[in-house]
Amino acid sequence: MRWLLLIVLFSATLPGKAQTPATGIPDFTFYNMKDQAFSRKDLRRGKPSFFIFFDTRCEHCQRTCKRLNTLYPKTRGAWVYMLSLDKKENIQDFFKTFAPNLPRQNNFMILQDRLFHFIPRFGPSKYPSMFLYGINQRLIKYSDDEASLDTMLSLLPPK
């Protein structure tokens, strides 16, 4: 059922052409791991926002997060929002297995997309998708290639 929903969401946003990443941070409602709503107005300010959209069963996402788990000091100049459509328990298990350092970082937030806002509003084309927005909430860079994690991190300001 979940895969069918993903196919419908991805295809509904693809009117015969590739999806275009959101050039500005759109409105949304996600949920943190304490089941509290988190919306655009709750975004932290003063640093770029780095959104990473992942699936807990995606091998590319697993490798990306495993690598990010060791490179997290490079993210200290940004707010990092990790988003998934998966169940909360699966998300928590994913981080325990592949990225145990990340949930402990004060600039990381793990979010669940229960209302399916991310795909139609942000415009990812596949997993993992990474969106870097500047302090002005305008898109700096988008990538859906796990190999570009280092490039994305190089664009983040130092702490």
State how many domains the chain has: 1
Confidence of residue 100 (pLDDT cuts 50, 70, 90): very high
Domain presence at residue 31:
yes
Domain presence at residue 16:
no
pLDDT at position 2 is 54
Q: Dihedrals φ, ψ of 82, to 5°?
A: -95, 120
pLDDT digits (tens, 9 = 90+) for 70-89: 999 999 999 999 999 999 99
Domain presence at residue 3:
no
Which helix (H) or strand (E) segment holds residue 3: the answer is helix 2-12
Tokens linked to 45: 């300010």
Confidence of residue 159 (pLDDT cuts 50, 70, 90): confident
DSSP 102-156: GGG-TTEEEEE-TT--HHHHH---SSSEEEEE-TTSBEEEEE--GGGHHHHHHTS
Domain presence at residue 90:
yes
What is the extent of the structural domain holding 56?
22-154
pLDDT digits (tens, 9 = 90+) for 48-64: 999 999 999 999 999 99
CA distance 159 to 157: 6
Strand, coil or helix: 8: helix
- Residue 113's identity, in one-letter code, is D
pLDDT at 6 over 90: no
Domain presence at residue 7:
no
- Residue 151's identity, in one-letter code, is T
pTM: 0.89
pLDDT digits (tens, 9 = 90+) for 115-156: 999 999 999 999 999 999 999 999 999 999 999 999 999 999
Domain presence at residue 96:
yes
Domain presence at residue 11:
no
Residue 86: give its domain's CATH number: 3.40.30.10
| Sheet-wide strand order for 108-112 | 37-39, 29-32, 108-112, 79-84, 49-54, 129-133, 139-143
